Amino acid sequence: MTKRIVVVVSGRGSNFQAIIGALQRGAIPADCVALVTDNPKAYAIERANAAKIPVVIVDYGAYATRELYEQALLAALKEQNPDLVVLAGYMRILGSAIVREYAGKMINIHPALLPSFTGLHAQRQALEHGVKLAGCTVHFVDESLDGGPIILQRCVRVLDDDDEDTLANRILIQEHIALPEAVRLFCEDRLTIEGRSVKVRM
């Protein structure tokens, strides 16, 4: 059965575009039933409109408290009845109610080789620590910060003349490969969580 996926984005949505491309090529056995965003000015909205994907805006600024916002976000997600929720550049930390609702059914892309460099400015953290390899991680979401079971990772070499932007741009190229691949594996029912590990069935 074709899976229903919802992508949640805060900004430009380049990883969302990578998923759209994979869907259009038939590389992922799924339908993207909605783009959900907390930002009514997100460029990802234009990408969704171009691909004829419905857009749901849950504007963070329209709610008096984070709790009220998260209640609205959870209601919006439930309305789409997703098999998988994909955080693709969503810039907020989700509360426990949403994480628990979609345990094992929500994945995130992070621009670092977890468990190193969680949170914001991962590329800056990598450069400050002088690492020789950086990259990206796709992981299941749990109640920790960027700490859920890892699905897959892709590496890039850190160059001597890298700054935050050049490193981020090279990592982003790998993100555009890694995230659609992880979505495909999920939608093909090939992922099993065993404790801290994710097993990929051949």
Strand partners, 4: 31
Distance CA 57, CA 194 (A): 35
DSSP per-residue string spanning 91-113: -SPPPHHHHHHTTTSEEEEESS-
Distance CA 194, CA 172 (A): 28
Q: Which of 110, 121, 129, 139 is catalytic?
A: 110
Q: Are 170 and 156 in contact (CB under 8 A)?
A: yes
Tokens read off for 6: 């919802």
Distance CA 137, CA 181 (A): 12
Distance CA 167, CA 180 (A): 21
Distance CA 106, CA 86 (A): 6
Residue 110 among the catalytic residues = yes
3-class DSSP assignment, residue 99? helix
* Active site amino acids: 110
